[in-house]
Amino acid sequence: MPTFPINLDFVRTLTDDVGMLQHSKYATPNKKEGYATDDNARALIAATNYFMLFNDLSVKKLIDTYLSLLLYMQRSDGKMHNFLSYDRQLLDEIGSEDCMGRTLWACGYCLNSKLPEQTKLLSKEVFDNLFCWVSSFTSPRAKAYSTMGLFHYQKAYAEDQNVKLNITALAKQLTEQFELESSEGWDWFESTLTYSNARLPHSLFLAYEATGEDKYLQVASKSMKFLINTQTINGVFVPIGNRGWYKKGSDRAIYDQQSVEAACTTEAAIAAFRNTNEEGYLKAAYEAFEWFFGKNLQGLKLYSQENGSCCDGITSQGLNQNKGAEATLSYLQARLNFEELKQQDNLLRARQK
């Protein structure tokens, strides 16, 4: 686990007065690629998490910028656009369900924070206007992100009983999908392992935390252990490659490995440890995180502590040298999750003295 300070320099480099740019060419922001709601939702979570952990007012401007873009990208019916060009032209009619789920997660996260009240009011407005569409979601990841947003919304509005009912409804859909798709030796929600896989069990650990329903914990644990085992080869974390994924009954793709997979596995394993106290999950979190520092099949370091940037991934030929928003934010959020775990542990130790 690295002990050097968290570095936000590259996050600031990728951010202008509109929002966070989606991609870079090597370590230079690529303005041709514009902005994405997906990345600005991720950035809002990371910046808010940083603010909560370090009470650093310098990130408040970043938070306002990302939230402002989410507001801009929200349609009059509450749904989201996802892509915006550098010259501020909307590039899609309606964004993906995943981008809407990530928006709910980000806005819910803001509500469960010490941000100024007016910032939280805007987060709630974006969340509430979008949430009416969740019942139509078919993407399991969109359901997972929405559940994670509701988890934080519930902490902010504990008296609102409808929040728990909505968490239960989404978690029930995910557990039913798991029961439908899983089989002996394949403890998963779909017939193919694809992208951001760990968000599915992650959301169910949070659903268990919010409701106390044992079924969610059972499915979360079974699927998370399957994912950890599948993504570990000779003690090394090897995320599912996006050049072919891993279809049940076929060979899994090794490349291209994406930074986002290492990060969301880290975060989900930490959530699993928090809810079960099983040391194996903590070990899995460290192993996934060490992928960024060279504990991978090619021994390549993806993270740069000099400016806080992260390479997009590992190909069969070596590093993908571009350093986009997704990769940089993925590393940052995983690192912040460890920081949060450390601060909680220190608080617990202080209370026990």
Distance CA 137, CA 108 (A): 18
* pLDDT attached to residue 348: 61
Asked whether residue 4 is domain-assigned, the answer is no
* pLDDT attached to residue 207: 98
Asked whether residue 1 is domain-assigned, the answer is no
Q: What are the residue ranges of helices labelled H in the chain?
A: 9-14, 37-54, 60-73, 97-111, 117-131, 140-156, 161-181, 199-211, 214-230, 259-276, 279-290, 325-352
How many CA atoms lie within 13 Å of 353's alpha carbon, on the beta-carbon side?
6
Asked whether residue 213 is domain-assigned, the answer is yes
Hey, what amino acid is at 70?
A: L
Distance CA 103, CA 329 (A): 15
Answer yes or no: are the C-beta atoms of 203 and 197 closer than 8 Å.
no
- Please tell me the total number of residues recorded for the chain in this structure: 353
Measured between alpha carbons, how far is residue 71 from residues 83, 121, 183 in Å? 13, 12, 42
* pLDDT attached to residue 343: 87
- DSSP assignment letter at 252: P
Answer yes or no: are the C-beta atoms of 167 and 205 closer than 8 Å.
no
Distance CA 26, CA 23 (A): 9
Answer yes or no: are the C-beta atoms of 140 and 174 closer than 8 Å.
yes
Answer yes or no: are the C-beta atoms of 271 and 206 closer than 8 Å.
yes
Domain with 241, as residue range(s), is 9-352
Distance CA 321, CA 314 (A): 9
What is the pTM (predicted TM-score) of this model?
Answer: 0.96
Reduced to 3 states, what is the DSSP secondary structure of residue 65? helix
* pLDDT attached to residue 233: 96
Distance CA 121, CA 83 (A): 25
How many domains does the chain contain in total? 1
Tell me which residues of the chain have a pLDDT lower than 50.
none
* pLDDT attached to residue 185: 95
* pLDDT attached to residue 326: 98
Q: What sign does the dihedral 292-15-242-275 (CA atoms) show?
A: positive
Distance of CA 70 to the CA centre of its chain: 17
Distance of CA 99 to the CA centre of its chain: 11
Instruction: Measure the CA angle with vertex 89, ends 86 and 94; round to 5°.
Output: 120
Asked whether residue 3 is domain-assigned, the answer is no
* pLDDT attached to residue 1: 63
Asked whether residue 64 is domain-assigned, the answer is yes
Hey, what amino acid is at 279?
A: E
Asked whether residue 120 is domain-assigned, the answer is yes
Q: At what angle do helices 161-181 and 199-211 cross, to 10 degrees?
A: 140
Asked whether residue 2 is domain-assigned, the answer is no
Q: Determine which helix (DSSP H) or strand (DSSP E) holds 309, and give its type and residue range.
A: strand 309-310
Asked whether residue 74 is domain-assigned, the answer is yes
CATH number at residue 23: 1.50.10.10
Answer yes or no: are the C-beta atoms of 22 and 39 closer than 8 Å.
yes
